[in-house]
Structure 1
Amino acid sequence: MSALLTLEEAQRRLLALAPETGTAPVDIHPRITGNRYLARDMVALRTQPAADLSAMDGYAIAPGRGPWRRVGESRAGAPFGGALEPGQCVRISTGAHMPPGSESVLIQENAQVDGDMVTASELPAPGRHVRKAGFDFRQGDCILARGTACTPATLALAVAAGHANLPLVEPPRIAVLDSGDELVPPGQPCGTHQIPASNGVMLGAMLHPLVGAVEALGPVADDRAALAAALKRAEDSHILVTSGGASVGDHDLIQQALKDWGATIAFWKVAIKPGKPLMVATREASWGRQVILGLPGNPVSSFVTAFLFALPLVRAAMGDASPLPRAVTMRAAEPLPAVGKRREFLRAVSNGGEVRLAGSQDSSALGALAAADCLIDRPAGSPAVSIGEPVCVFALGNG
């Protein structure tokens, strides 16, 4: 039997398969902030600032120690019409053009004014309080790299650089299929041999903030004909996320159903806990490559693998240049045991830089998962951790 893949290797292989969804120019407006990403590098169409500007309210002064005679005013949008001669100054406001012949800005707090004459209680150094032309960016500079997220700041930068629209990667179409004979649709009566189908709702809720609509295909019984019908409905999806049935037991039919559908298994099983029976497959559609991500059926395993694999895959398909979750360091608020051969992700609660377990670490314990706001990352073979020792943590802000 082949060795289990490490988390990093499995993520690398998965992200390399991210489907291409196309690009489109989108007019810049506030609603595109969030989960849209640039399809290509963008260059500045203009220089910012286009001229030397004042960074403070005060007086633009000619070189020298003064006094200076005030000969006019420069306001934002209404520059002084001439050039300064030695011994002259103009009243200037923040963001206004520095007139030719001026050297620095004497801020109003350091200016002593007597009629039209201005003297300095504290002389500014040459160039002081001046925003030089092009200090932010110049025409032709690369201002935003491919894969940059649309944020309020990046939108402002694009507009300042002269752009009215952005080349954005189109969101992928996503379907979620949860399967199992024991599953009952939400709200339906359950026998003692049945459970409510919570995974489809959970996965859809995790993916919805990224792409909006997510097509729900389940719950589906462990039946080859039912699975084939559900997969038929997923033929237009860029990414299909399944939950349950990805193993190779007598009643685990997803792998065979996918093969019957024309999919090829890319890899299977990752050395993590929970989430070992993760499966990745691909299928060639008329419009390109589909990616199928098979998650375990236990709800906590499904959540953790969705966090580590499904969300990064969707971000990568959307053009995100850094799709993987980022860890931070916190202090353990309680002892943690040594780790075995598989990397563990413990459901936990953080508070003031400290972190403690949220409750039961069983892969079916939804109560502890709902209480958790983070995952503690415990590498394989890690020794026991004492109170106060550092641990790596992933915040669970839906990915």
Structure 2
Amino acid sequence: MKNMDSKKRLDFLSTVKSIEAQKIINSYQVEIEKEFVNLEDACGRILADDFFSPEDFPYFDRSLVDGYAILSKNSQGASETNPVMLYKKGNVKVGEVPEVSVREGECVYLSTGALIPEGADSVIMQEYAREAGTIVEVLRPVYRGENVMKKGEDIKKGELLFRRGRRISPFDAGTFAALGVTRIPVFRRPVVGVLSTGDEIILPGEKATHGKVRDINRYVIMSLFNRLGGIVKDSGIAKDDIDEVIAKLYLLKDSDLLIISGGSSKGERDLIVEAVKRVGGKILFHGVNIKPGKPFFYASVWGKPLFGLPGHPLSCAIILHRFVLPLFLKIVGCENQRPRKVLGELTNNVPSSYGVEEYVNVKVRNDGKRVLVDPLFAKSAAISVFSISSGYIVVDEAREGFEEGEEVEVFLYEL
């Protein structure tokens, strides 16, 4: 038994490097299904095809102002003291088709957005004209095309507007609407299966007695993937009983990505790895040479990726952001999207252990002259830094930390 315990400890020390773990995770082959949704449901979804404009926009020459459609050459030399007199032939409102054309010495009044009548090549703003009956005095010259948006000037038919993998914004939805597109090709929303484990874990609404801990990680995980467009499948909390863990895992069998929080340290109460193996899963690595988050593991089960995350909240959050999120973005269809980064100046020393890649939470602020980065030193079980952290910095395993005043790269939590 002693030799077995020793073997387990040595096995746990056989960790992979961060870059190796990322390569293994990135090797997962994603097949994303496409579906069509109505325009009103498209915002926040991921575009599944490159989008080329089906038509010109605007669809016709239109006025950008309230004013008079004229021939620009008729306005040459016009001024307040020497106005050009034009004959007003009529009015055109927005949505009307002009029944008149404009010739030499003529004009037509237009509302903003109205179609330009045949013959006119510019619009003089009404502020620079005086109307008296059927006569309009033009008080300044205009150039050809002034105050006119030509057909296709904004968007041309066949123009590439949006690339595949783009997260559709409210403004994108407005563009689709303007171009008459009501059915949008998007990637299917992936299902993220979530499970917490541990005899000590209780629900947020339960009273926390000695030795019990409210479930934090599951709500962080579910909130993140709900916000990013996933469909969360919640399997609740499993006690430290292998049959219960297996039963809960089977409830998540149809998920595209599985995440288990807790139970990933190799110890007497670690049943998760064994449970994954019993349902046919393959452990691809267990233990990464990082701090915090060393004991996390990655597996393949039912052909789907499964992450076993540490139980400590800060460790869980960092592993979630650094290792799980890139794969999710790949599965959701926007693999070109990456966590945002910013450079800043450290306001304090950051010590680190040589030989281990370490992640340190930080707060980013601007003093008006430069970007400052405040290290937030906290134990992995702490939660108070959650709401004030802007992101984290990475201390390479070949370094023993950073010194105050050094420029560092911050990986921001907000995408």
Global fold match (TM > 0.5)? yes
Which residue of structure 1 aligns with residue 54 of structure 2? 45
Match of 1:28 among 39, 64, 78: 39
Shift of 1:213: 5.3
* 2:353 counterpart of 1:335: no
CA distance, structure 1, for counterparts of residue 16 and residue 366 of structure 2: 39
Give the stretch that moved more between structures: 193-202 or 265-274: 265-274
Candidates 284, 299, 306, aligned match of 1:292: 306
Instruction: Give the letter for the 2:348 counterpart.
Output: P
1:197 is the counterpart of 2:178: no
Task: Quote the residue 2:92 is aligned against.
Answer: 74
Q: Distance in 1 between matches of 2:74 and 2:206?
A: 85
Q: Which amino acid aligns with 2:187?
A: V
Find the counterpart in structure 2 of residue 362 from structure 1.
379
Secondary structure of the residue aligned to 1:252 is coil
Counterpart residue type for residue 28 of structure 1: L
Matches within 5 A, 1:1-399: 1=14, 3-6=16-19, 10-11=21-22, 13-15=24-26, 17=28, 19-20=30-31, 22-29=33-40, 31-34=41-44, 36-66=45-75, 67=84, 68-188=86-206, 192-211=210-229, 214-270=232-288, 272-284=290-302, 289-332=303-346, 334-337=347-350, 339=352, 340-352=354-366, 357=374, 359-369=376-386, 371-380=387-396, 381=399, 384-386=402-404, 390-397=407-414
Distance 2:144 2:289 in 1: 62
SS at match of 2:305: strand
SS of the counterpart of 1:347?
strand
Deviations 1:233-281 (A, max 9, x none): 2211111101223344444332332222222234455554323334322
Once the two structures are TM-superposed, the CA of residue 343 in structure 1 deviates from its matched residue by 4.5
What code does the residue aligned with 2:106 have? Answer: Q
Offset of residue 322 of structure 1: 3.3
- The residue type equivalent to 2:273 in the other structure is Q
RMSD between superposed Cα atoms in Å: 3.0
Query: CA 1:315–1:65 in 2, change beyond 3 Å: closer, same or farther?
Result: same
- Cα distance in 1 for residues equivalent to 2:205 and 2:389: 26
What residue identity is the alignment partner of 1:26? Answer: V
Contact 1:328 1:393 in 2 (8 A): yes
SS in structure 1 of the partner of residue 385 of structure 2: helix
Contact 2:395 2:402 (C-alpha < 8 Å) held by counterparts: no
Report the CA distance shift for 1:341/1:108 in structure 2 as closer, same or farther (over 3 A): farther
CA distance in 2, matches of 1:267, 1:55: 62
Question: Could you tell me which amino acid in structure 2 is paired with residue 33 of structure 1?
Answer: C
Aligned amino acid, residue 368 of structure 1:
V
Pair 1:382–1:57, CA change in 2 (3 A) = farther
Instruction: Write the distance in 1 (CA, Å) between the matches of 2:22 and 2:108.
Output: 61
Query: Per the alignment, do residues 155 and 390 of structure 1 end up closer, same or farther by CA in structure 2, a change over 3 Å counting?
Result: same
Cα distance in 2 between the residues matched to 1:136 and 1:277: 54
Q: CA deviation at 1:194?
A: 4.2
Shift of 1:79: 3.2
- 1:222 partner SS: coil
Change over 3 Å in CA distance of 1:122–1:267 after alignment to 2: farther
TM-score (ref. length: structure 2): 0.82
Runs of 4+ more than 6 Å apart? none
Cα distance in 2 between the residues matched to 1:350 and 1:108: 51
> In the aligned structure 2, how far is the partner of 1:139 from the partner of 1:5?
47
* Counterparts of 1:96 and 1:382, CA distance in 2: 68
- Structure 1 length as normaliser, TM-score? 0.84
Secondary structure class of the residue paired with 1:146:
coil
- Tell me how far apart the structure 1 counterparts of residues 343 and 101 of structure 2 sit (CA, whole Å): 57
Secondary structure of the 2:245 match is helix
Cα distance in structure 2, aligned partners of 1:273 and 1:194: 25
- Whole-Å separation in 2 of the counterparts to 1:123 and 1:391: 57
1:189-209 residue CA offsets vs partner (Å, 9 max, x unmatched): 666444333322332232232
Task: Note the C-alpha offset of 1:156.
Answer: 1.0
- Count how many residue pairs are aligned between Structure 1 and Structure 2: 387
How far 1:155 sits from its partner (Å)? Answer: 0.8
1:297-344 Cα offsets, whole Å, 9 max, x none, are 221110112123334433332222434321234454x32325554444
When structure 1 is superposed on structure 2, of 310-319 and 100-109 the one drifting more is 310-319
Question: Do the aligned residues in 2 keep the contact of 1:62 with 1:101 (CA within 8 Å)?
Answer: yes
Judged with a 3 Å threshold, the aligned counterparts in structure 2 of structure 1 residues 26 and 257 are, in CA distance, closer, same or farther, namely: same
* Conserved 8 A contact 2:192-2:233: yes
In 2: Cα distance, 1:390 partner to 1:57 partner: 54
Contact 2:363–2:376, Cα closer than 8 Å, also in 1:
no
CA distance in 1, matches of 2:29, 2:219: 23
